[in-house]
Homo-oligomer: A and B are copies of this chain.
């Protein structure tokens, strides 16, 4: 529990000083300014008081118990300070000080020693190299942070790895007239982790939605578990920065995390039911709408405008984001017709036209909100000089205040900023651009879609785990690719259909091998040095008899002499629709699984879905259906579709395999030949690397 961090009964500031630019001074000022509801104890070796507060030389001199300390002294003083805090029984230390993991191995060692020392005393470390926390709950009113963004009560909580980005989220909520609930920018995550913070915010009844911005995951599996438990109840609007390879370099220099985790982030966010953003604007606007309005219960949008063009812009944006344009019931149509000006357009968007008065707006909004086919409404309004706008605002408030569906507005105005302010005060999010409102609503709709998905555990599968373990163990620690026969054996142990095959090392073995495999067959070279077998001339297909097999063998034998090859004689499978299933170990998570159409679709179009192993049935289905080329699997232009159940099963089994054996560093089933129901879906080539 993080109550000691977010609801401390008393706080001390170590490094408090009278230097107005020191972090310690600023933290004291913030605690005072925002009216922290507990005693504050400045700690300073020399000063007698800081501001109006009596100062102490050490926390040990403070007569009262202390839950939380903020520490901003130089890192070389930290061990002493931590020791004293431990002895004092402090529960949490927010360490602002830098000079830890982010500066390299020496700093990392310092960091680990600090945490170990703290844990000896039951003290938890937040940071180091961190900003701090807010809790705007009036019963606490804690601003234990050295920055300048305002804090007032709200219902959105913020978690940001980067303080600069976190403050930006704060700031723009503020610019919108909104407060926030809790805030955390957690620095190096040496002890208190992001998932812990997230879990705490998830349980906070005052938090309606969470904004989360991460650069990297220290505990991806834990994050997945925690977030998955929150999203059925409240939205997590999430963004991963450092998505590009170049961005990842920046991350590397910024937080010491070296692996590009963009695809993993997308997979985890989706699996956990988080709405992912790639743009800070949209993230903030989604939070604004969620803060003020109910969340949509579907994706059908009703649009109202009093001028044509921006209505069209709204339609474009809604369609681009996958929303559906509502249609009205006969009753609704009739009411619109009876209530609006004859020039009004009664389709979607409803164009009430520029001369529409307060009653016209009311009728349009009220009608749409009562329509069963409407899940959310956006109103665009240009402030026409010949309309009583205050009356319009009043009626809009009336129409929306009891609504159980979200309503957002975009207003185009020069002078009536007061109108925007008033509407916002009455709970209607007002944006500048038609696109903004649509995006904010679409985020809510995506949350609804994600939380409405069936949730299941990964299924039990009939697998031969011990047989698989035997293969993995044979090669463990070699950090190399498995020979073909072993790789197929591993797949077969997990029930993944593979061709009949037999390994051969010499020409003499061909007869026996082909007797087992049958004709027509294929011959493939199997040597560590030959990565792209086909290109290297290491694959001979459709060999009809032993003579052809021998001829192919002789050719390869010449070609690969000196590379110590072995060979595999393999059943010639009928060519089907090529798909690929891949997997990769991911530290702290287990495995990631990739699915895509084979060949060009993966390599050129990058049309893949990535999921977290082991997959549940719904997650596997989501991956199959989620690729852009899904129609190809369903069957296009008279071609029959492939057996999707078989593909789903194969994907489940592959994901279970990598989840069960973390030593599988990389796995590629490429291609898999998928066929219409009746013909087995078979992995005809495989590469597996065991670490």
Contacts and interface: CB of A to CB of B under 8 A. Distances in A.
A316 B243 contact: yes
Nearest to A150: B414
A83 interface: no
Nearest to A346: B253
Contacts of A436: 281
A512 interface: no
Contacts of A163: 307, 309
Kindly name the residue among A168, A245, A279, A434 whose own CB sees the greatest number of chain B CB atoms within 10 A. Answer: A168
Contact of A250 (B245, B311, B534): B311
Interface in A277-318: 278-281, 305, 307-313, 315-316, 318
Interface residues of A, number: 84
A272 to B, nearest CB: 21
Contacts of A244: 315-316, 319-320
Interface string A258-280: 00000000000000000000111
A529 interface: no
A172 interface: yes
Q: State the number of copies, please.
A: 2
A160 B308 CA distance: 12
A307 B160 CA distance: 13
Contacts of A532: 637-638
A434 B250 CA distance: 15
A594 B26 CA distance: 63
B215 A312 contact: yes
A59 B318 CA distance: 48
A168 B412 contact: yes
B251 A312 contact: yes
B241 A600 contact: no
Given A605-B629, A636-B604, A312 B281 contact: no
A636 B603 contact: yes
Q: Which residue, of A250, A279, A351, A631, has the highest number of chain B Cβ atoms within 10 A?
A: A250
A666 to B, nearest CB: 18
Given A310-B162, A604-B636, A637-B535, A414 B171 contact: yes
Interface of A: 21, 26, 148-150, 160-168, 171-172, 174, 213, 215, 241-247, 249-251, 253-255, 278-281, 305, 307-313, 315-316, 318-320, 325, 345, 347, 349, 351, 382-383, 385-386, 412-415, 432-436, 532, 534-535, 599-600, 603-605, 607, 628-632, 636-638
Q: Sort A-B residue pairs by CB-CB distance and give the 6 closest, nearest first.
A: A162-B309, A164-B307, A535-B638, A244-B319, A21-B386, A165-B309
Given A278-B316, A604-B628, 12 more contacts: A150-B414, A163-B307, A164-B307, A171-B413, A172-B432, A213-B309, A247-B319, A251-B312, A254-B312, A280-B435, A532-B637, A600-B629
19 contacts: A21-B385, A148-B383, A148-B385, A160-B309, A164-B308, A172-B432, A215-B309, A242-B312, A243-B316, A243-B319, A244-B315, A244-B320, A250-B312, A254-B309, A278-B320, A280-B433, A280-B435, A535-B638, A603-B637
